[in-house]
Amino acid sequence: MATINITNLRKEFGSDGEQIVAVNDFNLTIEDGEFLVFVGPSGCGKTTTLRCIAGLEDVTEGSIEFDGEEVTHQRARERDVAMVFQNYALYPHMTVRKNIGFPLRLSTKQSTADIDDQVEQVAELLGIEPLLEQKPKELSGGQQQRVALGRAIIRDPELFLMDEPLSNLDAKLRSTMRTELQELQQELGVTTAYVTHDQTEAMAMGDRIAVLNGGELQQVGTASDVYRSPTNEFVASFIGSPSINLFSVDVKGDTLSGPGGFEYVLEDLSLVEGMDQVRVGIRPEDLYLTSDGSIPGEVTVVEEMGNENFLYANMGEVDLTARIESEIHPVEGMTVMFGFDEEDLYIFNPATKEALKTKTSDTGVDYDQYLQAGQ
């Protein structure tokens, strides 16, 4: 188990002229035993950061420490790290037993019997004992991914690094494997850095989530932190599905006025002090239909999801998305009014894109009301 400290990490690719800065000024501590998820769009530097931690890339600047010991210039095999990739990278000619035992045969002098014992324990943990004598091509995608995990677990490393390990699985299996992986990580207690481009997966799995964009760390926090209190417009728009509605409005006195007849009188004027214009954000689930709302919208599409409806509407040039009750079916072409509560409103500085206001609604829950009487 290890605490990982990453300080001022920078990674450039290419030689003079064609420099690509894949990771820039990256600072992060991954706590001992933590499940930390790196999330961000394709090309934002997730894989490169992970490979720097693993020792598979020479870093351009900065340092990496495992439990206070600097490893920046140690090679991969000197670091006590096991990596799991999207494409499994199993040896096709070896059985599952041989594949899982491979790291031990390579790096220790243990007897075949000892290695077999450990392979069987790991296979039991992953529920793949019946497959031990089979070859990878005889296995389903999910089974292959379990074998790849087994090969990482058997090394009993200080740190797991996983790069989109579930991306090749179908949606249903992916969600089962998410839960399994989380349970497994909790059971083993091994510090884990996990990469995904899928914000839903990140939200579901991470103890904390590190949001990256353009090689730079935008924010680190719990799912609730990045959803409720994004540091900037990028995080607000990347986290949450469907995405937050974002548009520019003019500030006139205490009134925000925007495209297509948007008018909203702020209760708390201090939020936009000194600004002529701001960007506002409202999450689809925070819009509701009401005759005295401040957002007129012409309905374009209603998607029925069964438990709720997604309502798409135009407010002038701006496309809006709202999540509404499944019972409500406005028809295409109807002009409706949306309302929202100021505590759910996000406001961003249009120049810096930094958040001026995020959700302030209370999340304090009194759990007593859910417990069986007398507990």
Residues that bind ligand ADP (CB under 6 A): 13-14, 20, 22, 40, 42-48
Shortest distance (Å) from residue 145 CB to ligand ADP: 19
Phi, psi of 250, deg, nearest 5? -90, 145
With CB under 5 A as the rule, give the number of residues binding Mg ion. Answer: 1
Shortest distance (Å) from residue 287 CB to ligand ADP: 32
Shortest distance (Å) from residue 164 CB to ligand ADP: 8
Angle at 258 between CA 252 and CA 261, to 5 degrees: 110
Q: At what angle do helices 96-107 and 141-153 cross, to 10 degrees?
A: 20
Residue type, 34: E
Cα 281 from chain centre: 20
Which of Mg ion, ligand ADP, none has residue 22 at its interface (CB below 5 to 8 Å by kind)? Answer: ligand ADP
Which of Mg ion, ligand ADP, none has residue 297 at its interface (CB below 5 to 8 Å by kind)? Answer: none
**Bridge partners, residue 321, by sequence:** 312
Shortest distance (Å) from residue 46 CB to Mg ion: 5
Smaller CB separation from ligand ADP, 45 or 136: 45
> Do residues 247 and 321 make contact, with C-beta atoms less than 8 angstroms apart?
no
Which of ligand ADP, Mg ion, none has residue 118 at its interface (CB below 5 to 8 Å by kind)? Answer: none
Shortest distance (Å) from residue 47 CB to Mg ion: 3
243 burial type by CB count under 10 A (0-12 exposed, 13-18 middle, 19+ buried):
middle
Which of ligand ADP, Mg ion, none has residue 357 at its interface (CB below 5 to 8 Å by kind)? Answer: none
Site string for Mg ion, 11-50 (x = CB under 5 A): ------------------------------------x---
Which of ligand ADP, Mg ion, none has residue 91 at its interface (CB below 5 to 8 Å by kind)? Answer: none
26 burial type by CB count under 10 A (0-12 exposed, 13-18 middle, 19+ buried):
buried
Which of ligand ADP, Mg ion, none has residue 13 at its interface (CB below 5 to 8 Å by kind)? Answer: ligand ADP
Angle at 80 between CA 13 and CA 14, to 5 degrees: 5
Query: Residue 147 is inside which H or E element, if any?
Result: helix 141-153
> Do residues 37 and 209 make contact, with C-beta atoms less than 8 angstroms apart?
yes
Smaller CB separation from ligand ADP, 45 or 165: 45
Q: Which residues bind Mg ion (CB under 5 A)?
A: 47
